[in-house]
């Protein structure tokens, strides 16, 4: 689950989830959702493994999203689901599943150029759930 937040020239989202794994999956889903309309019956035929290491959670989130963006652009893929096998504060092992981009089936919404560090926040809340704030460069 995510909500759009006001930001001057870019696009910001605030994401909430019950745990860290779901938070990172939801952030990736938000990135895809603001970028392209996914065909509801799309069968994800391509599975891309993703391995990330970083010195902190904020950096881990940025690198995760940057890798998804990079792979989708360079391989012309539209991801429809994400999975994380392992995650802690410094590493992530997961995957992105999707299909080849087809302009007849996928409508481009916003062209996301990058994931910024501006005002990034990843926080564990008092109730044990997680929250993230991310700004995408469009």
Give DSSP secondary structure letters for 46-115. Answer: EEEEEEEE-SSHHHHHHHHHHHHHHHHHHTTEEEEEEEEEEE-SSEEEEEEEEEE--TTT-EE-----EE
pLDDT value at position 108? 87
CATH number of 2-137: 3.55.10.10
What are the angstrom distances between the C-alpha of 124 and each of 49, 115, 117? Answer: 26, 21, 18
Spans of all domains in the chain: 2-137
List beta partners, residue 82.
96
Q: What is the pLDDT along the chain (138 residues), one digit of tens a residue?
A: 678 776 667 899 999 999 999 999 999 999 999 999 876 667 788 999 999 999 999 999 999 999 999 999 999 999 999 999 999 999 999 999 999 998 888 888 888 999 999 999 999 999 999 999 999 998
């Amino acid at each position: 689950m995510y909500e759009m937040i006001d930001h001057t020239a870019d696009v910001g989202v605030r994401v909430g989830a019950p745990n860290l794994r779901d938070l990172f999956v939801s952030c990736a889903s938000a990135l895809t959702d603001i970028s392209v309309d996914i065909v509801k019956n799309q069968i994800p035929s391509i599975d891309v493994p993703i391995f990330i290491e970083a010195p902190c959670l904020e950096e881990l989130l940025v690198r995760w999203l940057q890798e998804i963006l990079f792979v989708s652009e360079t391989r012309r893929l539209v991801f429809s689901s994400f999975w994380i096998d392992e995650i802690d504060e410094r590493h992530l092992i997961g995957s992105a599943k999707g299909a080849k981009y087809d302009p007849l089936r996928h409508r481009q919404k916003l062209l996301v150029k990058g994931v910024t560090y501006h005002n990034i926040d990843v926080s564990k809340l008092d109730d044990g759930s997680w929250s993230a704030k991310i700004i995408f460069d469009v």
